[in-house]
Amino acid sequence: MKPAPFEYVAVRTAREAVDALAAVPGARVLAGGQSLVLELNYRTLRPVRLVDINRVAEFTGLDVTDGVLRVRPLVRHRTFELPLAAGALGRLLARTVRHIAHPPIRARGTMLGSLAYAHPAAEWPAVAVAFDADLDLTGPDGVRTVAADDFFTGPFTTVRRPDELLTEARLPLLPPATGVGFVEHRRTHASFAQLAVAAALTVRENTVHNVRLALVNAADRPVRARAAERFLTGQPLTLSALAEAGQVAAADDADPRPQPYTDTPYQRHAISVLVGRALHQALQDADGR
């Protein structure tokens, strides 16, 4: 339960962070440390160097400019529990964050850390994929921007190169009259999500104008339920249409992998139920405004 020896480097600027990361192969970034430190202590990870970015002032905070929410590396999960001037997107993030672990972890862990870690049962990666996040990766050659959809390649795997640092996530705000919902299926309060669904629904004149659906732990990577979104878009809004969208997501979008205490038919069934519930919650959220 003690980490293997490593070199600890506390950097003060983004430039120093990138240099410190690139200088030693296998170096790792320490932000909140809520997954990393656990892995260090289990020795499932044995990096030779940790680059602590917690003192980098330019990595703090978030802002909304030009209809985009920009999140920097030191924004803790907890930040999203507080009111955010980001409309429906802010409400969605607030509903989502309550399902992430528990308060001590939310006080320390970061959104960008969760994206970089890419745990298959993590909430933020699916939200990033379904809500069109752009992710900035900063390396020795500068910054490149990757769409969240292209970022995740499997469990705990992303296109981030070892000498790159995730320096910003940009989430576009949602249109007016959008309702949001988030539902999660897990076995105890302290458990990881068995499955979870985030939904946003924009209704105009009783017709589904726009819909976004994120599936957590429904495949080997976060899933945007595009088939279900296509199915619903343009449809007259009915409860049966919402339920049917769940069936489409479960059949066409999800690709559940073997997991303990379940089988694939149950996972698909649960996805269908949860999509229906998340959409229903989104509808109520929209109606309440």
Report the interface residues with another protein, using CB under 8 A.
Answer: 42, 185, 187-192, 194, 247, 250-252, 255, 260-266, 268-273
Taking the least distance from each CB to another protein, the nearer of 65 and 189 is 189
Can you list the positions of beta strands (E) in 91-247? 134-139, 142-147, 152-154, 157-158, 165-172, 178-185, 195-204, 207-216, 223-224
Host H or E run for residue 105: helix 103-108
**Residue closer to another protein (CB basis): 160 or 185:** 185
- Distant-in-sequence contacts of 83-91, Cβ < 8 A, 24+ apart: 86/173, 87/173, 87/174, 87/176, 87/178, 88/173, 88/174, 88/175, 88/178, 88/179, 88/180, 88/200, 88/285, 89/131, 89/171, 89/172, 89/173, 89/174, 89/180, 91/180, 91/285
CB of 229 to another protein, least distance (A): 15
CB atoms within 10 A of CB 250: 26
Instruction: Quote the CA–CA distance of 165 and 21 in Å, as a whole number.
Output: 8
In angstroms, rounded to a whole number, what is the distance separating the alpha carbons of residues 94 and 91?
5
CB of 247 to another protein, least distance (A): 6
Q: How far is the CB of 137 from another protein (least distance, A)?
A: 29
d(CA 138, CA 71): 15
Q: Which is nearer to another protein, 148 or 248 (CB)?
A: 248
Of 74 and 245, which CB lies nearer to another protein in the complex structure? Answer: 245
Beta carbon nearer to another protein, 58 or 220: 220
Q: Tokens in use for 33?
A: 């440390």
The least CB distance from residue 269 to another protein, in Å, is 5
> Minimal distance in Å, beta carbon 286 to another protein?
23
State the nearest-atom distance from the C-beta of 191 to another protein, in Å.
6
Give whichever of 83 and 258 is closer to another protein, judged by the CB atom.
258
